[in-house]
């Protein structure tokens, strides 16, 4: 009988990076459980981690390149696929210029070591300004605020959940997400532990969420009004002379500017726009200031609204002005073993925001990318610089970017499209060629990004569980091959030699990770030692590191950056107008379903089965107005589209607000996906207007979208 073996790895589906314990015989998985010895996740697992096996066994998962022909999809050789893709890149760039070839990277790319390390190599070789990713429908505002204050887009302060006495959560539902821009597996237990040690958990959200159920206090707020709540809480801090910068005061400037900015936003004056009584805001500020340690965590709902960057900036300022920055129990920076931040210190020109602008609408670039809300227009608007070819890496922008219907049309209009994906989905169905990479269990994994955002310093490397078949290619092999074919003939061999020296071809990702670990901040740490540890290594709690860790050129913090100053007038003007659009009297917010992750994983039957979960939550009073019963269907209409969806009536949402989960709405006509057909749901993103953006960053507005509803 085949021996039963145990494999340990980190789950790569979401930011929580849980340790998994997989029992298997041959290539048969017997069980997937949480790894109790993982130093970060300590045994936590969610259904998506268990479902990794479904992706591995899925018969619909592609393993060889597909070419679209009049007769349908045809399997072709990798050589033919690479030849055709690179011939078309060269043809289109020669005819229309470098910018005519664009790339889009979806959310799974950041959870994939091969794509993280090698897609940039390939993207850079295209020399196109048209680079896009899911960042600008998500955490762009968080990263921009970090860049403006601390000098690097990934220097995002992380709440020290395991030592804090008070956590204020705004626009986030970590009990479902297990943290975002805050890797915190087992977060429900960590929040309960705060309460056990006498601390407080406070949640501010338009909806009474899974996190609210655990919190000591839930405060309902109107969507997109977080900016005014934070301004008023800061006003209260200054009014009561409770401002303190703590040990960062010697290199932090502009406290008087903040005091001046917030002076008109009293808890009373913002009560109407936030929907929060003045005394509640006052008490909230007082509780936060008087807690021994406290951290304010602002996330997705706060980032994806019209004042996303301003709100994220204010969240940082609130932590700083209350003396909770760079302090145990407050918010701190990580010290990752493989440090992707420190190398940027050597770069002479560190300007990453607004280096260039999009051809249409003039939206600013950030970290070499443009906001995706302009992508469909850039494809469909004729003229110099028009995008003619798109290469999508592990993304489904038809479901995950604003105005999905328009994106669908835009993809259909391309001269040529390539999708690096192992599924035919709503976006990849438009591709001329699909290049499928190996799946999670068929490759090594190191979490390049999320050790940098974790609440505890740990390190873990996951080896391949099941060797891929000969006909499969890894992400690294795909990107390196595409890159190599794009090099001019003469220098090709020279560069290949250089790459080999850098271990890229010879040892693959392992060489790079090993180098990074050996030259990182922890002595005696190399890849071998990390692999031998199996469960990962605990590198200790976060530590104060200011000002040494700052990447600002002067190593000083300037509290009021120019970009924020320029947006003050807009914040003021919306505050003064504060009017509702009578054509669209309700506001739409998203929500995350615990068994889905954006639009991924819908091929797993275990994640889709059961009662329909793509439902619109509406308040009991709104249901009465519209004469609705549970499961009745309504239409939801925005400026861009109308969808039809069943309702669930609840008092766990503010009146006037409607909540629909994102990532649903699979259309199966041209697709192979079959398991999820009965539970397809609707695509909320067709309701999002691509013209509504956070004006500083260009991030799409996905929270607080004006809509109206009608009974079907
Ligand atoms: S919480 Fe995230 S990382 Fe953990 S098992 Fe679930 S999907 Fe994987």
Q: Cα torsion for 683, 688, 693, 698, to the nearest 10°?
A: 30
Whole-number mean pLDDT of the chain?
93
pLDDT classification of 497: cutoffs 50, 70, 90: low
Cα–ligand 1 centroid distance for 592 (angstroms): 13
- Interatomic CA distance for residues 411 and 431, integer angstroms: 8
Q: Tokens 């407080």, residue?
A: 200
Structure tokens at 273: 């726009």
* CB-neighbour burial class of residue 418 (10 A; exposed 0-12, middle 13-18, buried 19+): buried
- Interatomic CA distance for residues 291 and 163, integer angstroms: 12
User: How is domain 1-50 classified at the CATH fold level?
Assistant: N-terminal domain of TfIIb (2.20.25)
Cα–ligand 1 centroid distance for 45 (angstroms): 6
Residue 558 CB neighbours (<10 A):
16
pLDDT classification of 446: cutoffs 50, 70, 90: very high
- Interatomic CA distance for residues 142 and 148, integer angstroms: 10
Cα distances (Å, whole numbers) of residue 623 to 171, 587, 650, 658, 684: 24, 15, 9, 11, 20
115-129, 356-370, 507-521, 650-664: which range is least confident on average? 507-521
In three-state secondary structure terms, 74 is: strand
Nearest protein Cα to ligand 1, atom 4:
18
Residue 494 pLDDT > 90, yes or no? Answer: no
Sequence-ordered alpha helix ranges (H) in 545-604 = 562-565, 568-577
Cα–ligand 1 centroid distance for 339 (angstroms): 23
pLDDT classification of 8: cutoffs 50, 70, 90: very high
pLDDT at 704: 94
Cα–ligand 1 centroid distance for 31 (angstroms): 15
pLDDT at 599: 74
Residue 556 pLDDT > 80, yes or no? Answer: yes
Atom of ligand 1 nearest to the CA of 52: 8
Share of the chain above pLDDT 90, in %: 86
Atom of ligand 1 nearest to the CA of 17: 3
Residues contacting residue 64 through CB under 8 Å, at least 6 positions apart: 75, 76, 77, 78, 436, 471, 472
Atom of ligand 1 nearest to the CA of 34: 5
Nearest protein Cα to ligand 1, atom 6:
46
Residue environment code for 73-103, b if the CB has 16+ CB neighbours within 10 A, otherwise e: beebebeebbebbbebbeebbeebeebbbbb
Residues with a CB atom less than 6 Å from ligand 1: 11, 13-14, 16-18, 45-46, 48-49, 178, 185
pLDDT at 668: 55
Q: Shortest CA distance to 140 belongs to which of 392, 365, 361?
A: 365
- Interatomic CA distance for residues 636 and 653, integer angstroms: 17
Q: Where does CATH 2.20.25.90 sit in the chain?
A: 1-50
pLDDT at 498: 58
In three-state secondary structure terms, 372 is: helix
Residues contacting residue 325 through CB under 8 Å, at least 6 positions apart: 157, 245, 246, 248, 316, 319, 331, 546
pLDDT classification of 612: cutoffs 50, 70, 90: confident
Share of the chain above pLDDT 70, in %: 95
Atom of ligand 1 nearest to the CA of 46: 6
Atom of ligand 1 nearest to the CA of 45: 5
Residue 680 pLDDT > 80, yes or no? Answer: no
Q: Where does CATH 3.40.50.740 sit in the chain?
A: 61-128+371-447+461-535
Cα–ligand 1 centroid distance for 212 (angstroms): 21
Q: State the angle between helix axes of 475-485 and 78-96 in degrees (0 to 180), rounded to the nearest 10.
A: 50
Cα–ligand 1 centroid distance for 136 (angstroms): 23
- Interatomic CA distance for residues 170 and 173, integer angstroms: 9
Region 412-423: what's the mean pLDDT?
Answer: 97
Residue 670 pLDDT > 60, yes or no? Answer: no
Q: Shortest CA distance to 508 belongs to which of 516, 517, 499?
A: 499
pLDDT digits (tens, 9 = 90+) for 294-304: 999 999 999 99
128-142, 422-436, 477-491: which range is least confident on average? 477-491
Q: Which residue has the higher pLDDT, 507 or 618?
A: 618
Q: Ligand 1: which of 8, 178, 180 to mutate, judged by most atoms within 8 Å of the beta carbon?
A: 178
Nearest protein Cα to ligand 1, atom 2:
14
Residues 174 and 184 sit within 8 Å (Cβ to Cβ)? yes
H or E segment and range at residue 398: helix 397-400
Cα–ligand 1 centroid distance for 622 (angstroms): 35
Q: Ligand 1: which of 185, 606, 607 to mutate, judged by most atoms within 8 Å of the beta carbon?
A: 185
* CB-neighbour burial class of residue 462 (10 A; exposed 0-12, middle 13-18, buried 19+): buried
* CB-neighbour burial class of residue 393 (10 A; exposed 0-12, middle 13-18, buried 19+): buried
User: How is domain 580-711 classified at the CATH fold level?
Assistant: Barwin-like endoglucanases (2.40.40)
Residues contacting residue 589 through CB under 8 Å, at least 6 positions apart: 206, 207, 223, 301, 657, 658, 659, 703, 704, 705
DSSP track, 595-659: T-BTTBTTT-HHHH-SS----EEEEHHHHHHTT--TT-EEEEE-SS-EEEEEEEEESSB-TTEEE
Q: Which residue has the higher pLDDT, 60 or 374?
A: 374
Region 184-191: what's the mean pLDDT?
Answer: 98
Cα–ligand 1 centroid distance for 311 (angstroms): 28
pLDDT digits (tens, 9 = 90+) for 520-555: 999 889 999 999 999 999 999 999 999 999 999 899
Residue 643 pLDDT > 80, yes or no? Answer: yes
Q: Where does CATH 2.40.40.20 sit in the chain?
A: 580-711
Cα–ligand 1 centroid distance for 186 (angstroms): 10
Residue 493 pLDDT > 80, yes or no? Answer: no
- May I ask the CATH architecture of the domain 140-336+553-569? 3-Layer(aba) Sandwich (3.40)
Residue 452 pLDDT > 60, yes or no? Answer: yes
Cα distances (Å, whole numbers) of residue 45 to 27, 41, 193, 307, 607: 22, 8, 18, 34, 14
Cα–ligand 1 centroid distance for 157 (angstroms): 22
Residue 673 pLDDT > 70, yes or no? Answer: no
Q: Shortest CA distance to 65 belongs to which of 400, 351, 433, 389?
A: 433
Cα–ligand 1 centroid distance for 159 (angstroms): 19
Cα–ligand 1 centroid distance for 184 (angstroms): 10
Cα–ligand 1 centroid distance for 53 (angstroms): 13
pLDDT at 440: 96
Q: Ligand 1: which of 16, 31, 32, 183 to mutate, judged by most atoms within 8 Å of the beta carbon?
A: 16
Cα–ligand 1 centroid distance for 459 (angstroms): 17
pLDDT at 458: 98
- Interatomic CA distance for residues 440 and 444, integer angstroms: 8
Residue 495 pLDDT > 80, yes or no? Answer: no
**Looking at domain 61-128+371-447+461-535, which of 3.60.21.10, 3.40.50.740, 3.40.50.2300, 3.40.50.720 is its CATH number?**
3.40.50.740
Residue 233 CB neighbours (<10 A):
26
Region 237-248: what's the mean pLDDT?
Answer: 97
- Residues in the chain, overall count: 712
Cα–ligand 1 centroid distance for 93 (angstroms): 40
* Peptide bond before residue 275 is cis, with ω within 30 degrees of 0: no
pLDDT digits (tens, 9 = 90+) for 572-596: 998 887 667 789 999 999 998 888 8
Q: Ligand 1: which of 45, 175, 189 to mutate, judged by most atoms within 8 Å of the beta carbon?
A: 45
pLDDT classification of 492: cutoffs 50, 70, 90: low
DSSP track, 154-198: T---EE-TTT-SEEEEES--HHHHS-SSSB-TTHHHHHHHHHHTT
Atom of ligand 1 nearest to the CA of 13: 7
Q: What is the largest CA-CA distance in the chain?
A: 75
pLDDT at 596: 82
Q: Ligand 1: which of 10, 40, 48, 455 to mutate, judged by most atoms within 8 Å of the beta carbon?
A: 48
pLDDT at 505: 57
Cα–ligand 1 centroid distance for 46 (angstroms): 5
Q: Tokens 């900016």, residue?
A: 227
Cα–ligand 1 centroid distance for 474 (angstroms): 22
Atom of ligand 1 nearest to the CA of 20: 5
Q: Ligand 1: which of 12, 13, 450, 536 to mutate, judged by most atoms within 8 Å of the beta carbon?
A: 13
pLDDT classification of 491: cutoffs 50, 70, 90: low
Residues 312 and 697 sit within 8 Å (Cβ to Cβ)? no
Residues contacting residue 529 through CB under 8 Å, at least 6 positions apart: 537
């Amino acid at each position: 009988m085949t021996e039963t073996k145990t494999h340990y790895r980190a789950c790569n589906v979401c930011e929580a990076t849980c340790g998994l314990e997989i029992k298997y015989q041959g290539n048969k998985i017997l069980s997937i459980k949480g790894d109790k010895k993982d130093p970060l996740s300590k045994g936590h697992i969610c259904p998506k981690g268990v479902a990794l096996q479904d992706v591995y066994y899925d018969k619909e998962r592609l393993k060889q390149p597909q070419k679209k022909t009049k007769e349908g999809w045809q399997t072709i050789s990798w050589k033919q696929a690479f030849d055709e893709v690179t011939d078309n890149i060269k043809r289109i760039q020669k005819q229309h210029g470098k910018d005519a070839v664009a790339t889009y990277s979806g959310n799974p790319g950041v959870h994939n070591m091969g794509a993280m390390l090698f897609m940039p190599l390939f993207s850079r070789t295209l020399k196109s300004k048209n680079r896009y990713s899911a960042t600008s429908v998500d955490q762009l505002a968080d990263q921009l605020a970090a860049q403006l204050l601390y000098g690097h887009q990934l220097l995002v302060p992380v709440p020290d959940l395991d030592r804090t006495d008070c956590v204020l959560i705004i626009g986030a539902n970590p009990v479902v997400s297990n943290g975002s821009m805050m890797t915190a597996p087992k977060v429900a237990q960590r929040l309960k532990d705060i309460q056990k040690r006498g601390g407080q958990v406070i949640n501010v959200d338009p909806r009474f969420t899974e996190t609210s159920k655990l919190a000591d206090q839930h405060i309902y707020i109107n969507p997109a009004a977080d900016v005014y709540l934070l301004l008023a809480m800061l006003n209260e801090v200054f009014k009561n002379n409770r401002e303190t910068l703590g040990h960062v005061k010697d290199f932090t400037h502009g406290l008087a500017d903040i005091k001046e900015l917030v002076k008109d936003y009293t808890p009373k004056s913002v009560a109407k726009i936030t929907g929060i009584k003045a005394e509640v805001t006052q008490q909230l500020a007082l509780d936060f200031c008087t807690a021994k340690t406290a951290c304010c965590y602002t996330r997705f709902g706060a980032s994806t609204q019209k004042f996303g960057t301003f709100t994220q900036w204010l969240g940082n300022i609130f932590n700083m002005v209350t003396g909770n920055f760079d302090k145990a129990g407050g918010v701190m920076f990580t010290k990752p073993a493989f440090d992707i931040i420190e190398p940027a210190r050597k770069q002479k020109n560190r300007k990453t925001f607004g280096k260039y602008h999009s051809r249409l609408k003039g939206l600013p670039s950030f970290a070499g990318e443009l906001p995706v809300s302009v992508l469909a227009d850039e494809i469909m608007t004729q003229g110099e610089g028009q995008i003619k070819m798109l290469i999508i890496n592990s993304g489904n922008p038809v479901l995950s970017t604003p105005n999905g219907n328009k994106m669908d049309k835009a993809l259909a209009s391309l001269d040529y499209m390539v999708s690096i994906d192992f599924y035919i989905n709503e976006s990849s169905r438009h591709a001329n060629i699909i290049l499928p990479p190996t799946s999670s269990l068929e490759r090594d994994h190191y979490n390049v990004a999320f050790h940098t955002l974790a609440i505890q310093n740990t390190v873990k490397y996951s080896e391949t569980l099941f060797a891929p078949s000969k006909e499969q290619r890894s992400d690294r092999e795909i990107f390196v091959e595409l890159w190599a074919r794009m090099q001019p003939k003469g220098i090709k061999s020279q560069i290949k030699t250089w790459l080999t020296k850098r271990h890229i071809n010879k040892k693959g990702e392992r060489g790079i990770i090993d180098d990074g670990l050996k030259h990182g901040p922890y002595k005696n740490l190399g890849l071998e030692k990390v692999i031998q540890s199996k469960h990962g290594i605990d590198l200790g709690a976060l530590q104060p590191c200011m000002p040494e860790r700052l990447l600002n050129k002067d190593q000083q913090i300037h509290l009021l950056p120019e970009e924020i100053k320029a947006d003050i007038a807009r914040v003021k003007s919306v505050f003064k107008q504060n009017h509702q659009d009578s054509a669209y009297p309700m506001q739409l917010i998203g929500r995350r379903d615990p068994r889905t992750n954006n639009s991924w994983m819908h091929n797993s039957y275990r994640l889709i089965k059961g009662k329909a979960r793509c439902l619109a939550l509406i308040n009991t009073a709104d249901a009465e107005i519209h004469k609705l019963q549970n499961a009745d269907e309504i239409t939801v209409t925005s400026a861009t589209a109308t969808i039809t969806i069943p309702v669930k009536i609840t008092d766990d949402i503010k009146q006037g607000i409607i909540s629909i989960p994102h990532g649903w709405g699979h259309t199966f006509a041209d697709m192979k996906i079959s398991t999820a057909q009965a539970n397809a749901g609707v695509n909320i993103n067709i309701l999002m207007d691509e013209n509504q953006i956070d004006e500083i960053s260009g991030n799409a507005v996905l929270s607080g979208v004006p809509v109206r509803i009608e009974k079907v």
